[in-house]
Amino acid sequence: MTGGYITGGWGFVWAAYGWTAVGLAVRSSETREEDMKRSRLFLILALGAAAIGFAILAGSGISRNLVYYWTPSDLRNAGDKAYGATIRLGGQVAPGSVRMLNGVSALDFDVTDKKSIVHVKSTGAPPQMFREGIGVVVEGTMTRAGYFQSDRLMVSHNNEYRAPKDGQQVNAKELIRTTKGLE
Amino acid sequence: MRHSPTGPKVLVALGVALLLAGSWWGLTKAPGEVYMGEVQRIMYVHVPTAWNAMLAMTFAFAAAVMFLFTNEWKWDARMEAAIEVGVLLAFLLCCQGAIWAKPTWGVWWDWDPRLTTTAVLLFAFAGILALRRFVDDPVKRGTWSAVATVIAYADVPIVYYSVRWWNSLHQMQSSPATVSSAFHLPLRLNAFGVLFLMTGFIMLRARIASLRLAEEIAPPPADALGELA
């Protein structure tokens, strides 16, 4: 995914960091004062440890090995591993899929990553930002019945912040109506 | 009688003035976000706090490197000051984030990569402050905490990249292109407000640290030695 991000261009930055540490080591070995030498040795060791720690994290493909949530495709590909375990599923609320059951206490919708779709049953009132097309992360388990039972629904918005257009009013009624399609 | 310098006081006053102006604009003049509504206004303190927390940690890192490289005590004092202000900002950052998260995400906290690495940052630097309290010898205290600061700083780029490396609940970094221009002015005013406030605080706190160090390192007065002899 973004693993090459670091191993590519940023690798040079971290290599420069490491070589600076080596340079400092060479320089400090030329100074005569004992404790000065020792504290510089500490500096080099610390810089080295920090750089190595960061490089391991950045280069080890941790973005693939350590995941915060599964996409619907990941969930489908996991096969039997998906059943019974508590997992987080992340994706977009599929447009047109939201249905509210039992008044406001239960919610049905599809989560999609544009490749696969997982049907989600969620309990509890959704956050105000919940609407069709928005990102969500749901926590729960995949059932044998073929749907994902969620007991924790989180809305994940993107990095865009927009002012209302001219004449458009922001008020509570308008915000509540953004979950349109629920009725 | 030592009298404190005016530079940091001017910075603090300027920072407060900018924060007041930016917050007033953000709360009254700028519109609410189209989907989030009024709660989006917390952006005007959350984002400046995040930027400046990272900046304070970066200055602490630079001071730690300078201390280990030059063995000059002023860098130890500056490092202590920057870590303390940085920890304060990181703590505020987590609180503001939780307040923003509850109405928008629906939860106060979740162990997503951005939040987790930020918590690690907060506790790592708070731990360094604790370490400094436990060591009486100024030389050992300075060296150990500087080494710890350099190592702990490796988490700062990880915090920055956390939203890119991993899929996360927290959104990616915004840019001026993804934020309506109506929100830019209060954000920038407050960013400089927190920057000046932070710089003033670090300067004042570094002065306190220097004075304490001078007391610790100063040789005992001559008459005390006379009594011993």
- Domains along the sequence of chain B with CATH: 7-28+37-213 (1.20.120)
pLDDT for residue A177 is more than 80:
no
Handedness of CA A169, A173, A175, A180 (dihedral sign): negative
For chain A, which residues make up each domain, given as ranges? 3-65, 72-158+167-177
Contacts of A35 in chain B (CB under 8 A): 71, 139
Question: Cα separation of A7 and B39, whole Å?
Answer: 38
Mutation target to probe the A interface, by most A beta carbons within 10 A, among B125, B149, B160, B166 is B166
Contact A51 B154 (CB under 8 A): yes
User: Which pLDDT score, from 0 to 100, does residue A173 have?
Assistant: 47
Burial of B126 (0-12, 13-18, 19+ CB in 10 A): middle
At B79-106, the pLDDT tens digits run: 999 999 999 999 999 999 999 999 999 9
Q: Which of B110, B161, B171 sits opposite A158 (nearest CB)?
A: B171
Contacts of B43 in chain A (CB under 8 A): 161
Contacts of A67 in chain B (CB under 8 A): 166-167
pLDDT for residue A10 is more than 60:
no
Contacts of A9 in chain B (CB under 8 A): none
Q: Which residue has the tokens 């007391």?
A: B215
- Look up the ipTM and state it: 0.80
Q: Which residues contact A69 (CB under 8 A, 6 or more apart)?
A: A87, A88, A89, A90, A137, B167
User: Which pLDDT score, from 0 to 100, does residue A180 have?
Assistant: 42
> Poorest-confidence range of A46-50, A89-93, B173-177?
A46-50
pLDDT for residue B141 is more than 90:
yes
Contact A42 B143 (CB under 8 A): yes
Q: If pLDDT is split at 50, 70 and 90, which confidence band does A21 have?
A: low
Q: If pLDDT is split at 50, 70 and 90, which confidence band does B130 have?
A: very high
> Poorest-confidence range of A13-22, A24-33, B148-157?
A24-33
Q: Which of A42, A127, A170 sits opposite B147 (nearest CB)?
A: A42
Contacts of A130 in chain B (CB under 8 A): 106
Complete DSSP assignment for chain A? --HHHIIIIIHHHHHHHHHHHHHHHHHHTT---HHHHHHHHHHHHHHHHHHHHHHHHHHTTHHHHS-S-B-HHHHHHHGGGGBSS-EEEEEEEPTT--EEETTTTEEEEEEE-SS-EEEEEEESPPPTT--TT-EEEEEEEE-TTSSEEEEEEEEE--S-B-PPPTT----HHHHHHTTTT--
> Poorest-confidence range of A34-38, B23-27, B111-115?
A34-38
Residue B180: its H or E element: none
Contacts of A170 in chain B (CB under 8 A): 31-34, 37-38
Q: By the 8 A CB rule, do A131 and A152 touch?
A: no
Q: Which residue of B has its CA nearest to A135?
A: B169
Contact B151 A42 (CB under 8 A): no
Mutation target to probe the B interface, by most B beta carbons within 10 A, among A170, A171, A174 is A170
| Mean pLDDT over the full length of chain B | 91
Q: Which segments of B41-72 does DSSP mark as H helices, in order?
A: 43-70
pLDDT for residue B56 is more than 70:
yes
Q: Write the CATH number of the domain with boundaries A72-158+167-177.
A: 2.40.50.140
pLDDT for residue B123 is more than 80:
yes
Per-residue H/E/C for A117-164: EEEEEEECCCCCCCCCCCEEEEEEEECCCCCEEEEEEEEECCCCECCC
CA distance A103 to chain B (A): 19
CA distance A144 to chain B (A): 26
